[in-house]
Structure 1
């Protein structure tokens, strides 16, 4: 599919691996200029090298930023403005599982740490970059939520709440800024092959005294029995949906959440 966005500039947070990097590859192949951002500059350099090896003639820049720090986000926005005259596409893929465990064991600090990264990180990047999109009169914003927003898991209450908030935030922004030519949508993945779920499975494997693959099989059977396809999703499968939503082909899609979950959410709604 021709996305019809060649020459646009996309900022992808959480862009050094997983869904963020997979999305960068699809967009770059369509002629989009890419800014990859994450916490670690070295991992970003590796990601940029992987991208340029796969997509010839791509223009890619990297900028390490911490979305839990507003000053860092503002520096990222200034970089995008100085280097590219602002962005056209914002994909906020950065996030963390955060504190997990029995609800009564989680402290205020546990909640605040998760909220500061997963919810307020999205708030900060939207606040910093919406003016750049308004200036261009065209923009696409994708916020990554999760199946947890619809089907919360009891040991992940802070993460569940943040991801539900992300969907609400996206809908709110879609109502506020559509008049400026900006479209806001969410994508909600479930159990994708990412560094975050790798770490979860490694912890589970250690706890159970087995391999990661054995832990994944146990987890699918016992913790995600509704995941109808019976496997972890691939980053590319999520990236394909994101790429469609930022394209001209999705010009009438706004304020919507797309679940890319292999059937993991049991409810139809």
Structure 2
């Protein structure tokens, strides 16, 4: 199977590290050119330097409508949009204020809404395009330790499904990809205290977290960012032309359903 995106231009938001960076690297390997995005120029430049030929960057804070507009102004048209930018912050429901809810909503949901609204019309005119929202198994297994995050990810899956129906028959596909616990830099930071306390390797601490907090996991470990990026690269490719409106799981079987 040859996953070939030669001649395509991809934008991966929040791609200076984690799943986004892995997705950018995977798309470059398919022959696509890739726009890297992050909030600061320094992080964007560092990521572009690591990725090498075919990558260039645009620094923009997607937490605001103005930041999204600046990104679109710098990159007016793309063939592949990967809405990966996101945040998560564990907090009990009763300690989660309006500002935290709004931050998760603006970054996790509205950044993707705004960019899809900007880029989909040109994709439709071209008769080809790919939009991928990075959701989460938390969209279905709402985590008690961060309900606000789960709600935002449920919204991402809903937006992707609705947009797929809106783009029916155009040659443009819209899907969501649902990672489970993944060993990104953000997860590593969340587990840093436990790793320091136990002295265990990060992978073992992550596996303990999965066992304790995602007991339905069949994989029984955290995924790597590369494992998630493999799915993104496939869905972004011409090979996935009959896959649209789908919530595609890279969750290690955490969502306890056969669908």
Per the normalisation by structure 1, the TM-score is 0.89
Kindly indicate whether residue 62 of structure 2 is the aligned counterpart of residue 62 of structure 1: no
- In structure 1, C-alpha distance between the alignment counterparts of 2:190 and 2:4, rounded to whole Å: 38
Deviation for aligned residue 1:104:
2.0
The equivalent residue for 1:248 is: 238
Q: Which residue of 2 aligns with 1:260?
A: 250
Aligned residue runs from structure 1 range 133-144, under 5 A:
133-144=123-134
Which residue is 1:97 aligned to? 88
Whether 1:21 aligns to 2:21 is yes
Partner of 2:191, secondary structure, is: helix
Deviation at 1:119, TM superposition (A): 1.2
Unaligned segments of structure 2, at least 5 residues: none
Greater shift in the superposed pair: 18-27 or 31-40: 18-27
Q: 1:129 aligns with which of 119, 124, 128?
A: 119
CA shift in 2, pair 1:203/1:65, >3 Å: farther
Q: Quote the residue 1:45 is aligned against.
A: 45
Residues 55-101 of structure 1, C-alpha deviations (whole Å, 9 max, x = no match):
xxx322100111111111111111112xxxx2100001110103x32
For the residue of structure 1 that corresponds to 2:146, the secondary structure is helix
Q: Give the match for residue 148 of structure 2.
A: 158
- Secondary structure (helix, strand or coil) at the match of 1:179 reads coil
Residues of 2 paired with 1:176 and 1:33: CA distance?
Answer: 27
122-131 or 213-222: which moved more? 213-222
List runs of 5+ in structure 1 lacking aligned partners: 53-57
CA contact (8 A) 1:88 1:133 kept: yes
Matched-pair contact (CA < 8 Å) for 1:15–1:24? yes
Deviation at 1:189, TM superposition (A): 0.1
Q: CA deviation at 1:160?
A: 0.5
Match among 68, 75, 85 for residue 73 of structure 1: 68
Matches within 5 A, 1:170-189: 170-189=160-179
SS in 2 for 1:154: coil
Contact 1:33 1:59 in 2 (8 A): yes
The 3 A distance-change label for structure 1 pair 268 and 49 is: same
> Root-mean-square deviation (CA), in Å?
1.7
Taking structure 2 as the reference length, what is the TM-score of the superposition? 0.93
Distance 1:92 1:151 in 2: 21
- CA distance in structure 1 between the aligned counterparts of 2:3 and 2:205, rounded to whole angstroms: 38
Counterpart CA distance in 1 for 2:208 and 2:237 is 38
Number of residue pairs matched?
A: 257
1:39 deviates by: 1.1
